[in-house]
Amino acid sequence: MKIYGGGYLQREELLDLGIRSIGENVRVHEKAILVDVERIEFGSNVRIDAFCVLSAAGGSLRIGSYVHLASHADIYAGAGVVLEDFAGLSQGVRIYSVSDDYSGACLTNPTVPRGFLVPKAGCIRIGRHVIVGSGSVVLPGCSIGDGSAVGALSLVNRSLDPWGVYAGSPARRIRARSRKLLAAEGAMAGDGVLALT
């Protein structure tokens, strides 16, 4: 049995790679894949676990403060992706800001010349205090409103309102989500713990 440890790149190592901007206490696992790092921004207190893919090819990726991406969470930010403060992506989440047209009206895949493609593209915003459950997919142009939670294995194919719990394929609102976590955020600020950039 092989035991795998691995380590996290520190702020200075990430700056040496050419990251556009970076706050304090940012840890990216050495087994994460970063594409077009000069288009990636990190706030403070961020952790990116092993085997995540962060691709800003053709677009931009901005990750706020107090954000966690669990292993195998992938972000393809060709048309732009923003993760606001306190957002979290569980294992295996996929975020696509560009997608091929699957209708059959045009060709698909990146080996085909651009003139024969009609991709759907749109910036994605994952709001403050949003959590997206394992195996969920977020499609181009969708925003998830502040404070919302998306259950595991859900498909987000339209924008979701704030402070709801959503699940399913497509994701539908199940109920309201508690705002009690805002008190904890306020307590962090009052204790001088909160550091946002």
Concatenate the DSSP letters of all residues of 34-51 into one string: EESGGGEEE-SSEEE-TT
What pLDDT score was predicted for residue 1?
46
Residue 85 CA to residue 57 CA, distance in Å, equals 23
Domains of the chain (ranges; CATH) run 20-190 (2.160.10.10)
β-pair partners for 42: 63
Residue 37 CA to residue 16 CA, distance in Å, equals 10
Q: Tens-digit pLDDT profile for the chain (197 aa)?
A: 455 567 999 889 999 999 999 999 999 999 999 999 999 999 999 999 999 999 999 999 999 999 999 999 999 999 999 999 999 999 999 999 999 999 999 999 989 999 999 999 999 999 999 999 999 999 999 999 999 999 999 999 999 999 999 999 999 999 999 999 999 998 888 776 666 65
Residue 51 CA to residue 183 CA, distance in Å, equals 33
What pLDDT score was predicted for residue 195?
63
